[in-house]
Amino acid sequence: MADDAIRAYAAARRFGAATLERWLGLTPAARAALLALAERCRLGENQFRDVLDDLVDIAVRRDADPSAVLEDPAIAALWRRGLGRNQAIKALKDVLRGLRHPQRTAIEARLAALARSLRLPAGAQLTWPPGLEGEQLTLTLRAGSVAELRAQAAAVAAVAGDAAVDEMFALLEGRW
């Protein structure tokens, strides 16, 4: 019965045959859990495929079934937040990304905390490479006047020697 419901859902959303085949190739528990998730979030094919990729990868990482991943407390907490569809899908992807890349997510969180600790002035922003694929920090200054630019530069210079900056570079260079 569950497989009939899966086929019906896939047909209604015009899923490709390859996506449906992957879905039906999961364990019965995973098939059913994915169906419940797809119906709850009304996932389109691309969204479904992204979620499926992450779930399978996390399951491999945990040596568990994808259905068990969907029982993770972080995901269960999502459904208690009363989010709308688009917000729920975005939040789900964020949670899955954290579960899929736990070390990178933790480093990014630490980088964000360190950047905040510098208390850079308004208009100054410190960013790091997407996916942490690189060792460079980028400092952006947005100033509307010479005075503002000078004030930003002075503030940045004052914190350049902060240990937080050293730690940020160390994290990007894999030294932690």
Partner 1 sequence: MTPFAPEAVWIERGEVGTPLAQAVIARLGADAVRLFDPPDGPRPVGVRAGKRVLVLRRHGGAFLRQCPAGTAGLVCCSYLTLNLASNCPMDCAYCFLQDYLADAPALTAYTNVGEALAEVAAVLDAHPARPFRIGTGEIADSLALDPLTALSRQLVPFFAARPNATLELKTKTECVDELLALEPNGRVVVSWSLNAAAVIRRDEPGTATLAERLGAARRVAEAGYRIGAHFDPLVEFDGWERGYAEAVDALAAAVDRRHIAWVSLGSLRLTPALAQAVRRRETPAGVLAAELVAGPDGKARVWRGLRLRMYRALVTRLRAAFGDVPLYLCMEPAPVWRQVMDEVPSDRALGLRLAAGASW
Q: Which chain residues interact with partner 1 by CB under 8 A?
A: 22, 53, 56-61, 100-104, 107, 129-135, 171-176
Tell me which amino acid residue 51 is: V
Smaller CB separation from partner 1, 8 or 60 = 60
> Can you spell out the DSSP letters for 37-73?
HHHHHT--HHHHHHHHHHHHHHHHHHTS-HHHHTT-H
**Angle of the 17-24 helix axis to the 2-12 helix axis, nearest 10:** 160
CB-based contacts of 91, cutoff 8 Å, min separation 6:
78, 81, 83
Residue 168, token pair as written in the block: 């940020």
